């Protein structure tokens, strides 16, 4: 499969099946998707439609049953676990619905963790800058249990950007927050995405959040349909 230079993520005939006792469940069927560098993409759909599974495959967290995936110019569907981990460490950032901060580490330590694991120097300085950017410089030594939900998600966003990833995957980033806090977190996410020039792929139920992305895909029973494509960049202020 040839890769067009501006393409950043591409899938072809992507399928994911799960074997159950007595039958096989098709979670994703023939997903063909192209995402250009710098795009912001929302994948929407009902619960159980396969959104998160697709996100996991695109991010290299899981492998498909069949089909091809190219991420950041590299085919990843046949890579080993370790090679995919190395690719994630280099190029991918994550923001999760339930924040997934390590409870034993402080906000600053959570933020610097990916950089430290990748062996990057200057992690501490950059971590402090990012926490300042998300407005939590006063709470950098707090543990997650001492922070509110919104604050935790801001820490998670700072963590996602510490390695300056080329692509950011977000799974329902505001679903566990009240609407006002959620809105603020979304703003922050888009602002950072824009300022860092990151490609953004997010999965959400929230049509307003999806509407802030350049492209929207609808997942339905494991099949993907592009619902909206804006040719011009969307306003990150919503």
CA within 13 Å, CB half, 51 = 24
3-state helix, strand, coil in the chain (%, to 5): 35, 30, 35
Phi, then psi, of 25 in degrees rounded to 5: -100, 125
Strand partners, 133: none
Sheet holding 66-71, edge to edge: 23-36, 7-20, 66-71, 74-75
CA dihedral for 142, 144, 146, 147, sign (positive or negative): positive
Burial (CB count within 10 angstroms: exposed 0-12, middle 13-18, buried 19+), residue 133:
middle
Shortest Cβ 230–other proteins spacing (Å): 27
Residue with tokens 């006002």: 180
Least distance (Å) from other proteins to the CB of residue 27?
12
Q: Residue written as tokens 């494509």?
A: 229
E-strand stretches of the chain? 7-20, 23-36, 40-45, 66-71, 74-75, 92-95, 167-171, 199-204, 215-220, 223-229
Rounded to a whole number of angstroms, the minimum distance from the CB of residue 232 to other proteins is 31
Q: Which is nearer to other proteins, 106 or 214 (CB)?
A: 106
For residue 235, the minimal CB distance to other proteins (Å) is 29
CB of 187 to other proteins, least distance (A): 24
Residues in the chain, overall count: 238
Nearer to other proteins, 96 or 236 (CB): 96
List residues binding other proteins (CB under 8 A). 52-53, 55-56, 59, 61-62, 81-82, 85-86, 88-90, 92, 94, 96-98, 100, 102-105, 109, 113-114, 116-119, 144-145, 159, 163, 171
Q: Which is nearer to other proteins, 40 or 52 (CB)?
A: 52
Q: Which is nearer to other proteins, 32 or 146 (CB)?
A: 146
Q: Which is nearer to other proteins, 89 or 211 (CB)?
A: 89
| In the complex, minimum distance from the CB of residue 163 to other proteins, in angstroms, rounded to a whole number | 8
């Amino acid at each position: 499969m040839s890769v067009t230079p501006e393409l950043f993520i591409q899938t072809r005939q992507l399928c994911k099946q799960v074997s159950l006792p007595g039958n096989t469940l098709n979670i994703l069927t023939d997903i063909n998707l192209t995402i250009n560098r710098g795009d912001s993409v929302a994948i929407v759909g009902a619960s159980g439609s396969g959104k998160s599974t697709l996100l996991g495959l695109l991010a290299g967290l899981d492998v498909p049953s069949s089909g091809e995936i190219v991420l950041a110019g590299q085919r990843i569907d046949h890579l080993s676990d370790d090679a995919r981990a190395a690719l994630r460490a280099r190029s991918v950032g994550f923001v999760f619905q339930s924040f997934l901060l390590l409870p034993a580490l402080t906000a600053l330590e959570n933020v610097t963790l990916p950089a430290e694991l990748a062996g990057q120097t200057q992690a501490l300085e950059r971590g402090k800058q990012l926490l300042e950017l998300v407005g939590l410089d006063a709470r950098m030594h707090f543990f997650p249990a001492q922070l509110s939900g919104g604050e935790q998600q801001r820490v998670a966003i700072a963590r996602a950007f510490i390695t300056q990833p080329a692509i950011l995957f977000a799974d329902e980033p505001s679903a566990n927050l009240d609407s006002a806090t959620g809105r603020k977190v979304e703003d922050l996410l888009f602002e950072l995405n824009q300022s860092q020039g990151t490609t953004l792929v997010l999965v959400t139920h929230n049509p307003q959040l999806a509407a802030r992305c350049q492209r929207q895909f609808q997942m339905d029973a494991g099949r993907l349909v592009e619902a909206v494509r804006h040719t011009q960049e969307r306003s990150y202020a919503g």
